[in-house]
Structures are given as C-alpha cells and as structure tokens.
Amino acid sequence: MAISNKIIIITAPSGAGKTSITRHLMRVFPQLAFSISAATRQARGIEKNGVDYHFITLDEFKYNIQHNNFVEWEMVYEGKYYGTLKSELERIWNERKIPILDIDVKGAIHVKQQYPESSITLFIVPPSVAELKNRLEGRGTETAESLAARVNKAAYEISFKDQFDKLIVNDNLEHASMEAEGIIQGFLAQ
C-alpha cells in the first residue's frame, strides 16, 4: 500500500481520552501529521487558527459544503459544524506524511466508508458509561444538563462500536496509549 494513501482515524465518545491518545501517537510516529479540521465554533484559550482548527464562519463552511470540499462534515454540537477538508488530506499526503484525524463517531464512519482499504479506525471507549460520567463530573466543566446530554450521547455512540476496525478500552491511559501504538505500528508496516 502506498504510504500517501493511508489515513488514521481516532474516534470516541466525548471524555474517553482520544485527544491524549492522538497526541501520544504523534509523539511516537513522526510520519503522522494532525489533520486540521474546519470548525465554526470560536477558538478557546490558547487554540490557534490554522493549528488546532481552521476557524471559519458558517457562510464559509456552507460554501465548502456546496463546493464539495469536505471528505466529511457534521454538526457535532447544536449549531456548531466541524469537517475534514479534502485539501487538508492532500496537503499532508503531499508532504509524504499520514493524516491522523481526531473526529466524532459519525465523521469517522463516513471517512472509513470512503477509504475502506487504506484507513484504520480506532474507537476509544471508556470502561463503562458510569465511569465516563465520573470523568466528566471530575472535569468540573459540565452543568447537570450538559452532563446528562453528553452521557446520553456517549451511550448512543457506543452502540456503533462494531463499525470500527479496533476497539480500545481506556481503563488506564498509559495502557490504552500502548495498545494504540501497537496497532498503529502494525498498520504503518502494512
């Protein structure tokens, strides 16, 4: 398989640790490049445009939909759109690197459908929905309402688990990271 065709997709219900695992993989494998999504939400904290996301307006997002510029896009949260631009994957492949996508569950399924042979999907799951609830509560960032919404969404997303290539139970971040590393090592060697 040509290196330029590969895609790594990391997905998970919110709060399951996919960002930490993505960062770990990027540290271990220098040939991976983070796929910078387009998003219509505001930048948070130290996030930078063109580094964490391409922060664009809703009109710009719609323009990209109409011009078929996305590999996939989703309204991940109410009124907030996120999408993987074809141009982003091309940019990374042109650098002779492999894009690593940190995207939501439906987006992951859509990318996999378009690149069934050359992509791998890793689905990171919390040990249980109860544990996920504990973690989100521990972050202290949720209201009772947003917590309930995230937990319900997670339970729904976990129901898609059979659609992914690899399932990683994140009961311990270090173990889960090592497991992901082993899987990606194998994928890169193909």
Q: Which residues bind ligand 5GP (CB under 6 A)?
A: 14, 37, 41, 72, 74, 76, 82-84, 102-104, 107
Cβ closest to ligand 5GP, residue 2 vs residue 139 = 139
In the complex, least distance from residue 104 CB atom to ligand 5GP, rounded to whole angstroms: 4
Cβ closest to ligand 5GP, residue 45 vs residue 189 = 45
Cβ closest to ligand 5GP, residue 76 vs residue 184 = 76
The string of DSSP codes covering 14-26 is TTSSHHHHHHHHH
Q: Is the dihedral of CA 173, 89, 182, 125 positive or negative?
A: positive
Q: What's the length of the chain? A: 190
In the complex, least distance from residue 102 CB atom to ligand 5GP, rounded to whole angstroms: 5
Cβ closest to ligand 5GP, residue 41 vs residue 135 = 41
The string of DSSP codes covering 36-88 is -EEE-SPP-TT--BTTTEEE--HHHHHHHHHTT-EEEEEEEETTEEEEEEHHH
12-45 burial string, b = 16+ CB within 10 Å, else e? bbbbbbbeebbebbeeebeebbbbbbbbbeeeee
In the complex, least distance from residue 13 CB atom to ligand 5GP, rounded to whole angstroms: 8
In the complex, least distance from residue 57 CB atom to ligand 5GP, rounded to whole angstroms: 16
Q: Give CA–CA dist 170/65, Å, rounded.
A: 34
Cβ closest to ligand 5GP, residue 102 vs residue 179 = 102
In the complex, least distance from residue 107 CB atom to ligand 5GP, rounded to whole angstroms: 2
